[in-house]
Amino acid sequence: MRLRLMGSLVGFLCLVQGSRSLHAEDPRAFPSLAEIQAVVDQHFAENPQLRTGDIISQNEVRPLFSKFEASGWKVEDRDEILKKLLSDNDPLLRILRGPDGSKFMGQVANDKLIYDRLDRIAREPGGQRLLSDLVKLPNAARFAKYKTQPGVPDLEDFLPKDRSGKTRRVKDYDKATEKIYTVADFKKALQKSYETARRKDLLRDIAG
């Protein structure tokens, strides 16, 4: 009786172990979210010029998707995510990656919706010229705050006047653009994509 019980137990353990082995070899087996985020962190750590909070570009993110696929996750909405990043020739990216822009970026990176607002300014008539001149100022950061101090003009105030001679007001200036500007933004978008993919995978397993 004991021998039969022992044999059954051994057989059960072998079955469980075999199931685990098959799952590990399953090409659809997902890496953990922590593993995905570690890949992201390692990728950007290899760029010593990129500081926390700096703006990132499409081409800096693009190689990550092949790394994710190699680890077991093919990102289905890869193209949609990439479209939300600035291209490498985007005017805002070019301004902020220059010597003056880089210094300015380091001063404002933690400010609320900073890149969203700068992006909107850059797409206004005269906006690119404004930002190019602004980043050269030693006190440029004080004009780019989400809420400037009393008596301190906002970036909108420096834009060319509208046709009626009034100060130009940028549409949705204080709202998010829904674009991806930083590594932190990218990781949030990636987490949303990952969770959606995991739910789909689970449903496939249940249906299969």
pLDDT tens-digit readout, 26-81: 445 789 999 999 999 999 999 988 999 999 999 999 999 999 999 999 999 999 99
In a domain, 94, yes or no: yes
Domain identity same for 100 and 77: no
Please count the residues of the chain: 208
pLDDT band for position 199 (cuts 50, 70, 90) = confident
Please tell me the total count of domains within the chain: 2
pLDDT tens-place string over residues 131-172: 999 999 999 999 999 988 899 999 999 999 888 888 889 999
Whether residue 100 is found in the same domain as residue 163: yes
Tokens for 187, please give them: 């990781």
Confidence of residue 22 (pLDDT cuts 50, 70, 90): very low
| Domain-embedded: residue 5 | no
Asked whether residue 189 is assigned to any structural domain, the reply reads yes
Do 103 and 172 belong to one domain?
yes
**Given CA atoms 47, 48, 50, 53 in this order, what sign does their dihedral have?**
positive
Q: Is residue 150 part of a domain?
A: yes
Query: 166 and 104 in one domain?
Result: yes
Same domain membership, residue 156 and residue 113:
yes
Q: Is residue 192 part of a domain?
A: yes
Whether residues 124 and 59 fall in one domain? no
Determine phi and psi for 126, rounding to 5 degrees: 80, 0
Domain span including residue 57: 33-43+52-85+183-208
Q: Are residues 141 and 155 in the same domain?
A: yes
- 22 in any annotated domain: no
Tell me the whole-structure pTM to 2 decimals: 0.82
Does 130 lie in the same domain as 74? no
Tell me if 12 is assigned to some domain: no
Question: Are residues 94 and 67 located together in one domain of the fold?
Answer: no
**Residue 195: count of CB within 10 angstroms of its CB:** 11
Cα gap 88→53, rounded to integer Å? 17
The residue-averaged pLDDT of 111-118 equals 96
Residue 20 forms part of a structural domain: no
